[in-house]
Amino acid sequence: MTGVLPVTLGEATKVVQALLYSGKEYVCLMKLHGDVQENHVKRVLKEFENAIYQRPPLRASVKRQLRIRRIYYLDFFEMDRRNVLFTVGCEGGTYIRKLCYDVGEVLGCGAHMQELRRTRAGPFVENESVTLHDVFYSFTEWQESRDEALLKKFVQPMEHALALVPKIYVRDSAVDAVCHGASLTAPGVLSLESGISAGSLIAVFSLKGEAVALAKAVASSEQILDINHGVVANVERVLMPRSTYPKCWKSGEKTDE
C-alpha cells in the first residue's frame, strides 16, 4: 500500500487526533474470482455508496465488531477481464480490503483487493505529497544553506492538518487562558465557521491563523453567535505553548489559604 501518509513532527503530533477520523480517498485495484459483466460490477459498486455495515478484517488494528461506515462515493473507473479499478471516498476507519471482499460476495464470484493507493487523507492530497527522497534532499540542502524556502517545500504548518475542522477565532486576550486549559467562553469569540453542532470537534484559532487548541463545542454555530456569556467549548488538546500570548485573566482571591 502506498500513497498519502501525513507525518506530524514534534509538537504537531498533537493534531493526529483530528486526522485519524478524517475522511480518506483511495484508488483500488480489485481482482474478481470469476467472470462478471461490466454492467453488473458497476451496479453492485453503486450499492455500496452511502452507509455500509462493516466488520473489520482478521488482520486489523481495531476491535472486530460490526460498525457503520460512510462511503461518500465509489466511482468505477475501468475493467480489464477480472481486474477492476475504482476510486473510493470514505469515512476514516473503512477497510478497503474488506470492502473488496464484500463486493465479491454480492457479485457471487468472490473478489480480493490486489493493490491500493491512498490519494487523500483529510486535507492532504496526492498531488501535493512529497517522497522520502524529497524530504532527505531538501532537509540536507536546508542544513547547508539555511534557506527557509527549502523547508516549505516539504513541511506544511500543522494548521493545514486542521483545514477541514470547523474553527472558532478568538481574541488575543483569550488565547493564553485556552493554552492553560480553560474553557472558551463567549466574550472571547470573534468569529466562527458554520456547521458546528454541540459535541463536535472544533479548532480554536488566533487571529494570526495559529492553532491554539482542539476542543469540543457545547453549542451550535448559530447558538454561539447569539450568546454573550457562558462556556462555548471545552478544551481537549492544547496545541500552542503557554505564555505565547500575555496572560489576561485575574486570579481569584486565595480564600482557603
Partner 1 sequence: MPRSVAPWETSQELLVKAEDRTNPSYGHKPDERPAEEYLKYGVINLDKPAGPTSHEVAAWVKRILKLGQVGHGGTLEA
Point out which span in 7-15, 29-37, 77-85, 103-111 binds partner 1 (CB under 8 A).
7-15
**Angstrom distance (rounded) from CA 239 to CA 11:** 7
The mark string for 138-177 relative to partner 1 (x by CB under 8 A, - otherwise) is -x--x---x-x--xx-xxxxxxxx--x-x----xx--x--
- Considering the rule CB under 8 A, would residue 63 count as an interface residue with partner 1? no
Contact 216/250 with Cβ under 8 angstroms? no
**Angstrom distance (rounded) from CA 204 to CA 85:** 40
**Angstrom distance (rounded) from CA 211 to CA 206:** 7
Joined together, the cell numbers standing for residue 213 give 487548541
What's the closest the beta carbon of residue 79 comes to partner 1, in angstroms?
A: 20
**Angstrom distance (rounded) from CA 128 to CA 99:** 27
Q: Kindly tell me which of 59 and 250 has the beta carbon lying closer to partner 1.
A: 59
The mark string for 76-115 relative to partner 1 (x by CB under 8 A, - otherwise) is -------------x--x--xxx---------------x--
28-47 positions binding partner 1, by CB under 8 A: none
Contact 188/249 with Cβ under 8 angstroms? no
Which residue from 36, 84, 192, 202 is in contact with partner 1, where contact means CB under 8 A? 192
